[in-house]
C-alpha cells in the first residue's frame, strides 16, 4: 500500500500546512501513543529536534497528543537524529521522535519516528500509524504540556560515541575543520572531538532558527574546502542539518562523499578482519567508480533502493556490517542502527590518525561523471509506463552498456522525479540526462 504521509524519511512538509498542521501533528502523538499502549503498559517516548525555528511548536503539538494518551515523554532538546536513535536504544525508551527536515531549508520541517530498537519503524507500522492519523478527528485537548530538555542526554550520547573510537587511534595530532551547517551538530560535534584531543576549528556553528543548511553543510562544501586549505587542516567534515550524514574534505581540498567513505572504511575493516558479510551495501546512486574500486579489493557492491532504511534492511538480511549512501549516510552496524554523521566523522578521523591522509585512503577511486536532474511533477505514475521515457531509457541503457548507468526514480519526500546518469564521458551523461528529463517534463511536468 502506498503511503500518503510517510516518505522515505518520515513526514515532510511546510509547518502550519498539511501534513505539518496542528491537527495532524496532534494526531501523530495520539496515534503513536495508542500504538505503543497496545504493546506495553507504561511506554516512554523521547523527543528531539534540530535548530529550525518551527521545532518547538511542532514538538508541543505532538507532545500534547502523547500526553492525552497518557504517554510519558522526555525532551532531548536540540540533538542530532542519530542521537535520538542511539538514546532510545540505550535509555530503553519505547520510541523516539525527531523533528527535522534533514538537509532541506529552514522553512521545511519533518517528523521522523524510531522504534525502541533505535531503528526506523518498518513500512507496515508506518502504514498502520498513517491510517490512524488520517482517521483522527479535529484535535480536542486542554492545552500544550510544558517540559524542559534533559541536558544529561547530550553527555550520554557523547560518551557512547567516544566509546566507539577505534582503539589505538590518537586524535591529538589531527587538526579538524567542522562545518556544523548551523544545525543539530553545532555544539555536539566540537565537544566530541575536543574531548578526544583533536584540534578543532568550527564554521557555521551559530544557528538562529533560519540559517540551517543555508549555503553550508554537506550540500555546500565549498566553504569547508577553503577553510581546510587555509588552515592546513588534516581533515574537514561537513554535516547536514540533523547530522545523520557527513561529507569530507581531504588535506588537499578534495571532496570525499559517501562512496569514498565506504571505500576507505571497507579497506580498513578488511585489513583488520573486522568486515563481515563479504560485501558492501550501497544504493542505486552509488558511483560506478566505487563498484569497480571495491571489486579490486575482492568486495562486491550490493545495490538497494535509495534510503538508509533499505540499506539497513539488506545489511541485517545478509549479515553485513558496512553500508551506506553516496550522500553521506553511512551505517557502521557494529556501532549504530542508523547513519550517524558524528560517528562516521569519528571513524574516518581515527582511520586517518592510524593509516594516513584521506587522499591515500581513497587512492584508486575513479569517480565517473554523474549528474542528477530534479524535475517537478504533478503526479507519480511508474516512469517506465510513460512511452517517451521508456523509449529513451531503453536507447540510453543500450548505448551506455557497461560504461554507464541510468537511474530514474521519484523523490520520497518531494513531488519530483530524479534522473541520474553516469558514464565514462561527460558528453554521454549530458545527452541522456537531458533527453530523459525532457520526456518526463513533457509527460508529467508541473
Q: Known catalytic residues?
A: 102
DSSP class of residue 401? G
**Segment (H or E) for 127:** helix 123-135
Q: How far apart are CA 442 and CA 437, in angstroms?
A: 9
Q: Strand 255-256 to strand 280-283: parallel, antiparallel, or no bridges (unpaired)?
A: unpaired
3-state class of 344 per DSSP? helix
3-state class of 235 per DSSP? strand
**Which residue matches cell numbers 577553510?**
227
**Segment (H or E) for 324:** strand 322-324
Q: Nearest 5°: phi and psi at 182?
A: 50, 35
Q: Burial of 135 by CB count in 10 Å (0-12 exposed, 13-18 middle, 19+ buried)? A: exposed
Q: How far apart are CA 80 and CA 41, in angstroms?
A: 28
C-alpha distance across the termini of the chain, in Å: 25
Q: How far apart are CA 441 and CA 30, in angstroms?
A: 40
State the Rg of the chain over Cα: 22
Find out whether 323 and 310 touch, Cβ atoms under 8 Å: no
Find out whether 262 and 300 touch, Cβ atoms under 8 Å: no
Give Dmax (Cα) for the chain: 64
Residues in the chain: 446
Q: How far apart are CA 406 and CA 383, in angstroms?
A: 13
Q: What are the start-end ranges of the E strands in 148-275? A: 175-179, 199-203, 235-239, 246-250, 255-256
Q: How far apart are CA 15 and CA 224, in angstroms?
A: 30
The three grid cell numbers given for residue 382, joined into one nine-digit string: 511508474
Find out whether 249 and 222 touch, Cβ atoms under 8 Å: no
Bridge partners for 45 per DSSP? 73, 95
Amino acid at each position: 500500500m502506498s503511503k500518503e504521509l510517510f516518505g522515505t524519511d518520515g513526514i515532510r512538509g511546510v509547518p502550519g500546512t498539511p501534513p505539518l498542521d496542528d491537527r495532524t501533528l496532534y494526531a501523530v502523538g495520539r496515534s503513536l501513543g495508542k500504538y505503543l499502549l497496545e504493546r506495553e503498559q507504561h511506554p516512554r517516548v523521547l523527543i528531539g529536534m534540530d535548530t529550525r525555528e518551527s521545532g518547538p511548536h511542532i514538538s508541543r503539538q505532538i507532545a500534547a497528543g502523547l500526553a492525552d494518551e497518557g504517554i510519558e515523554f522526555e525532551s532531548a532538546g536540540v540533538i542530532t537524529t542519530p542521537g535520538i536513535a542511539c538514546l532510545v536504544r540505550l535509555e530503553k525508551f519505547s520510541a523516539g521522535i525527531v523533528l527535522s527536515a534533514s538537509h532541506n531549508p529552514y522553512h521545511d520541517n519533518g517528523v521522523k519516528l524510531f522504534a525502541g530498537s533505535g531503528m526506523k519503524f518498518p513500512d507496515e507500522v508506518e502504514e498502520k500509524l498513517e491510517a490512524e492519523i488520517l482517521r483522527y478527528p479535529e484535535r480536542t485537548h486542554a492545552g500544550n504540556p510544558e517540559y524542559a530538555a534533559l541536558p544529561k542526554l547530550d553527555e550520554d550520547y557523547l560518551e557512547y560515541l567516544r566509546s566507539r573510537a577505534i582503539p589505538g587511534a590518537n586524535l591529538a595530532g589531527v587538526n579538524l575543520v567542522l562545518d556544523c551547517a548551523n544545525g543539530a551538530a553545532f555544539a555536539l560535534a566540537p565537544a566530541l572531538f575536543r574531548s578526544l584531543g583533536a584540534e578543532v576549528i568550527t564554521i557555521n556553528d551559530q544557528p538562529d532558527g533560519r540559517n540551517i543548511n543555508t549555503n553550508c553543510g554537506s550540500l555546500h562544501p565549498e566553504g569547508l574546502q577553503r577553510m581546510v586549505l587555509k588552515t592546513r587542516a588534516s581533515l574537514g567534515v561537513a554535516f547536514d542539518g540533523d547530522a545523520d550524514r557527513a561529507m569530507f574534505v581531504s588535506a588537499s581540498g578534495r571532496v570525499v562523499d559517501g562512496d569514498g567513505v565506504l571505500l576507505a572504511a571497507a579497506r580498513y575493516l578488511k585489513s583488520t578482519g573486522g568486515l563481515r558479510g563479504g560485501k558492501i551495501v550501497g544504493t542505486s546512486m552509488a558511483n560506478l567508480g566505487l563498484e569497480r574500486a571495491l571489486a579490486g579489493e575482492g568486495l562486491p557492491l550490493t545495490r538497494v533502493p535509495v534510503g538508509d532504511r533499505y540499506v539497513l534492511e539488506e545489511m541485517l538480511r545478509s549479515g553485513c556490517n558496512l553500508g551506506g549512501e553516496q550522500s553521506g549516510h553511512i551505517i557502521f552496524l557494529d556501532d549504530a542502527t542508523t547513519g550517524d554523521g558524528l560517528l562516521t566523522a569519528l571513524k574516518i578521523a581515527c582511520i586517518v590518525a592510524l593509516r594516513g591522509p584521506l587522499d591515500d585512503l581513497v587512492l584508486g577511486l575513479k569517480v565517473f561523471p554523474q549528474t542528477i536532474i530534479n524535475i517537478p511533477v504533478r503526479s507519480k505514475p511508474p516512469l517506465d509506463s510513460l512511452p517517451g521515457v521508456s523509449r529513451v531509457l531503453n536507447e540510453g541503457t543500450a548505448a551506455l552498456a557497461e560504461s554507464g548507468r541510468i537511474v530514474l526514480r521519484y523523490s520520497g519526500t518531494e513531488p519530483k522525479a530524479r534522473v541520474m546518469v553516469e558514464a565514462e564521458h561527460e558528453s554521454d551523461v549530458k545527452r541522456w540526462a537531458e533527453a530523459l528529463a525532457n520526456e518526463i517534463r513533457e509527460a508529467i511536468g508541473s
